[in-house]
Structure 1
Amino acid sequence: MLPTPAPPPDDMPVEEVPLPGPPETTPDYVEDIEDAAATRQVDAPTAFVPLDPPAIVEVPLEAPRLGWFARLASGLKRSSDQLTGSITSVFTKRKLDAATLDELEDVLIQADLGIETAMAITETLRRDRFDRDVTGEDVRAVLAAEIEKVLGPVARPLVVGSAQKPFVILMIGVNGSGKTTTIGKLAQKFAAEGRSVMLAAGDTFRAAAIEQLQIWGQRTNAPVISRPAGSDASGLAFDAVTEARAQGRDVLIIDTAGRLQNRDELMNELEKVIRVIKKVDPTAPHATLLTLDATTGQNALRQVEIFGQRAGVTGLVMTKLDGTARGGILVAIARKYGLPVHFIGVGEGVGDLEPFTASEFARAIAGTE
């Protein structure tokens, strides 16, 4: 028998990720969790215990920071440079004619903004500036305005309701999309707001993910419900919600194993985790956040579609915008699905994950001030 391949690291691009190992297996008892809860003793989750020696997974420390817009503009520089450079080359000493508009439309589509957005921008220019001299600055201004128009309705903050205690957040996404790191950043933000947080290491497939979450638990003073690698994720989720309720925690954030959206058996396991959570609290999870790696480009559209169908996604977190020239994909996703975009990330530090603002994103990617 061939050895089971090692799980991929968090930072591996989605296109290069090999198929994960065998799916989590969920014992039959989870389907009748009310009876089984009383008998589950050996597998009871362990609250957070500091690791000795420290885990090998490194969580980056904070360094002095620029303002958020400066970091956002810097993070989106690759996307902006490619887009604005192409626009400038099209509009060098040329009047706006049909051929120029066709070239511009191709540039915008190649920037992953989506066909609908590209057509809206070119139609605006056709209506207002046809057969007139047009500069790159003119086009960037129209570009920023159109992007802001698309993103404005989806730029909505994540509201943690006080009526639900704990407010259960389920983090989902493909391998390497940044779920665990995003959980740590969110935990720190909630703790800074004075909320009591608990974390659940539901990515039981990878020991490194468990260790990484425990480090974030240390940094944010949040207990971490965990089990040994290979344990049942559904049972852990059940116990985490139960324990968070018993302790009166404000927020519970549950990590999940990265899973490719085209692996049906793994998506079935995710659906089972959600069903088990509802056995404790029928209204939970109160937020199901899909983390999207911006470097995956058009593949992110498919992820939103499938995870939305199977897991009931309520909001998006876009990560790794600083590592790609394909940041325009967020515009295409917003126009097609209209899901709230709660946070975007442009770096590894806690301060590099911020609530999403449409106007700032539009100005940064269009290269306007």
Structure 2
Amino acid sequence: MENYTSDSSDSDSQNKTLDYSRMTLNSSELFNTIEQFALSENKSIANIDTLLLYHNQITVLPININKFKNLKVLDVSSNGLTIFPEILAECPLVSIIAKNNNLGDDSFPKSFSNIYLKELNLNGNKLTSIPQQIIEAESLKYLYLGSNQIREIANGIWKLKSLQIFHVGGNQLVEVPDSLGMLQQLQALNLSENLLESLPATIANLKNLKSLMLHKNKLQTLPTEIIALKCLTELSLRDNPLVVRFVSSISLNPPSLLEHAGRTVKLYGIPYGSPELPRSLVEYLNSAHHCVNPKCKGVFFDNRVEHVKFVDFCGKYRIPLMQYLCSSKCIEENNTKKVGKSGYDNNMIKKVLLGLCHRKVQEPLGT
């Protein structure tokens, strides 16, 4: 989350921040307090760029909120807020934090989409859908809609093309639209604690996605296209009835005679080189890859098993997803003791094997 307060000294920041939090103010009392501040000779309301109103008893923002001509950050969390006034659009806001209120689908005026917002936090409200006014706020970079009652994500979500963080966990989603895959700038997506049984294949189009939170859903499988998410470094999958294999079928294609011969040469250490063999064949034999199973001495060339594995660090799974094996029988057992680069004894870490995604599976050699 970006810091939208002043970049100047601490004293300047304090002068630009007006803190009315935890004062048990209701809407009318806030109106009077703002009026008194505006009439103060010692302070200028035009200098204020951050207004903190959290933990009060405000149900409606007073109309004199527009006196803050340079207001950029408004935090009105933990009140009883039920609606945003039209007048709010007259403030140059870039961040609205309104967590834990009573905001619903009809709480947003038409002018709301005209506010040049970068951050909107509506966690813990009473939304059952994503209001169109939010969908039209195309400047948004950070959108937090967690812990509401949202049942669907509108197809028009693609309009938020600048979105980098999208949190919609803790809702009642049963599906995700294909159009979500059009959010090319998205870096973090939280869909946890919903009712999702599957994800669209278009999730693979989120080329900049680094964090994907999917825990506490009803996921039976994952789209194989998830492997294409090369930037993904964090994946949370705990508390899902995921099947062991998320690739439903495996086509068994036997390895070529060249593959068999090459494996035999490498496995038994048969010497080779020029001028006995053509240069192309020497290069082929030199290109052999060792199986990553520490118990296997086998090698492979073109025929391999692409093994998809997630290692659970307290519920968060680390990538890369792929391991390349010479045989489907080379998959490590869960009780295989191995100390990885992280220094963790993998015997103490739960391994969740989600299946095989392979090119060509063959009988084991050297296992």
Q: TM-score, normalised by structure 2?
A: 0.25
More helix by share: 1
Greater strand proportion:
2
TM-score, with length taken from structure 1: 0.25
